[in-house]
């Protein structure tokens, strides 16, 4: 296999490119079910509650595998876990097109979530493997911008595939795309280790490092920040189309036009917030998160009270810009302060806090809409409260003397 190593690259920018594309594929694949659900519901005669369960099945599996996925990446390297995860989730994406019963579809979506779960932690581990510590925040938030690009381009790819091949053929085509990507990733990327891990040799006890990390209050406050902002994120993603149709009276076609616009604001935010954090908020990152949380609350209030659709979209872009900066910063801070040997496990601990909100927030918002006879007043107060709690949690993060929390070396006041 020496010929293969000759062509594999350790160039961090090549690796970043492949990680970015992989994240886009993951968001396109997970978005497919929402766009295909009207067709699936007709074929399977699904009730609205059953349709909701089909969507939730993915997030259950995805959340379960957050921390285990990060642990696997820390122990076996990012490349191994990424190749296995993407191969498996592409296979289950492909086989979704062969589902014949609701039970079978739920099983496939759940296992698809399990298989995709390790990818995020493996990407964060890869950032620690290929990039020096001082560059990790900028490239972590940069790679998170792929989430919004993937969400924005998903309809452009998925809708034509459904029109050409039907929903079953669409899933099969996406599965094939994922398998092709795995081939090129395996061929072009060379496995390496973080600089800290290379320096320490085999002396590091990663499990001990991770358990030690969980004693630091900064980690749990970042988890709470991620949870709060994801309550806003997941809630708006689930209910914004309904709000625009029911409360603002616009048609579904118009919703399709305006939905991708805020994702571009999120892309710009995550692409640049890591650089901003390093340059102006080094060791003061909690203030950046708190400022963004307050701005999120302000734009939520303005969005709900806007009188025209134009201003609704403008203020929604403000919400998406600042909330994306919070989530990107929370993950980036973890990679900035922990040793690279546990980058995967530590980052997915924060990411899991965000994913848990994926179950909770849409349900809470649905209950509030029902409880207040279809009004979204209480929903927006709930979202503003989540942003306020995020700001408080950030401000309670203690100051750091050191730039990292290595075993026995980090400190917090």
pLDDT at 254: 66
Residue 409's pLDDT is what?
A: 45
**Would you identify the CATH topology of the domain 201-400?**
Growth Hormone; Chain: A; (1.20.1250)
What are the residues whose beta carbons fall under 8 Å from the beta carbon of 162, sequence distance 6 or more? 35, 36, 39, 170
Q: For position 124, what pLDDT does the model report?
A: 84
Looking at residue 293, what is its pLDDT?
95
**Identical fold at 1-192 and 201-400?**
yes
What lies within 8 Å, CB to CB, of 195 at 6+ separation is 132, 133, 340
User: What's the whole-number mean pLDDT along residues 328-332?
Assistant: 80
Point out the least confidently predicted range of 221-235, 278-292, 353-367. Answer: 353-367
pLDDT tens digit string along 4-25? Answer: 454 455 678 888 999 999 999 9
151 vs 156: CA distance, rounded Å: 10
Cα–Cα distance measured from residue 36 to residue 43, given in angstroms and rounded to the nearest whole number = 11
- Say yes or no to pLDDT of 3 above 60: no
The DSSP symbol for 248 reads: T
399, two tokens: 């100051």
pLDDT tier for residue 170 given thresholds of 50, 70 and 90: very high
At 412 the pLDDT is 45
Q: DSSP characters for 296-313? A: HHHHHHHHHH-SSHHHHH
- Residue 158's contacts (CB-CB under 8 Å, 6 or more residues apart) are 28, 31, 32, 35, 36, 170, 174
Q: What is the pLDDT of residue 241?
A: 61
The CATH code belonging to domain 1-192 is 1.20.1250.20
- Mean pLDDT for the chain overall: 80
* Tokens 């074929």 -> residue: 43
Model confidence at 40: pLDDT above 70? yes
For residue 255, how many other CB atoms are within 10 A of its CB?
Answer: 16
- Give 412's strand partners: 400
Output b/e per residue, 32-69; b: 16+ Cβ within 10 A: bbbbbbeebeeebebeeeebbbbbbbbbbbbbbbbbeb
User: Using CA atoms, how far apart are residues 31 and 23, in angstroms rounded to an integer?
Assistant: 12
Domain boundaries, the chain: 1-192, 201-400
> Contact 97/170 with Cβ under 8 angstroms?
yes
């Amino acid at each position: 296999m020496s010929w293969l190593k000759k062509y594999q690259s350790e160039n961090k920018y090549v690796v970043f490119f492949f990680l970015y594309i992989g994240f886009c594929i993951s968001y396109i694949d997970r978005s497919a079910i929402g766009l295909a659900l009207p067709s699936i519901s007709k074929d399977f005669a699904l009730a609205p509650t059953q349709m909701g369960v089909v969507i939730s099945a993915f997030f259950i599996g995805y959340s379960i595998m957050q921390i285990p996925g990060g642990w696997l990446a820390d122990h076996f390297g990012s490349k191994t876990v990424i190749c296995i995860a993407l191969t498996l989730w592409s296979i289950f994406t492909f086989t979704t097109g062969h589902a014949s019963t609701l039970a079978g579809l739920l099983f496939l979506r759940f296992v698809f979530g399990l298989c995709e779960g390790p990818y995020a932690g493996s990407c964060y581990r890869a950032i620690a493997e290929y990039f020096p510590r001082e560059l990790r925040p900028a490239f972590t938030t940069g790679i998170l911008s792929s989430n919004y690009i993937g969400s924005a381009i998903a309809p452009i790819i998925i809708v034509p595939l459904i029109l050409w091949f039907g929903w079953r053929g669409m899933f099969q085509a996406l599965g094939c795309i994922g398998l092709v990507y795995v081939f090129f990733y395996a061929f072009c990327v060379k496995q390496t280790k973080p600089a800290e891990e290379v320096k320490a040799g085999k002396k590091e006890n990663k499990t001990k490092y991770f358990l030690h990390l969980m004693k630091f209050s900064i980690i749990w406050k970042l988890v709470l920040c991620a949870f709060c902002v994801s309550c806003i994120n997941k809630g708006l993603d689930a209910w914004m189309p309904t709000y625009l149709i029911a409360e603002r009276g616009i048609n579904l076609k118009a919703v399709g036009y305006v939905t991708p616009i805020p994702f571009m604001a999120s892309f710009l935010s995550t692409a640049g917030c890591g650089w901003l954090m390093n340059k102006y908020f080094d060791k003061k990152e909690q203030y950046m998160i708190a400022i963004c949380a307050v701005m999120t609350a302000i734009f939520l209030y303005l969005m709900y009270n806007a009188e025209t659709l134009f201003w609704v979209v403008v203020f929604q872009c403000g919400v998406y810009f600042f909330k994306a900066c919070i989530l990107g910063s929370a993950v980036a801070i973890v990679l900035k302060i922990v040793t690279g040997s546990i980058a995967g496990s530590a980052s997915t601990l924060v990411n899991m806090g965000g994913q848990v909100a994926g179950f909770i927030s849409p349900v809470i918002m649905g209950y509030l809409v029902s409880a207040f006879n279809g009004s979204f007043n209480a929903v927006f107060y709930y979202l503003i409260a989540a942003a306020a709690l995020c700001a408080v949690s950030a401000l309670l993060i203690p100051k750091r003397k050191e730039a990292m929390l290595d075993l026995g070396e980090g400190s917090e006041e």
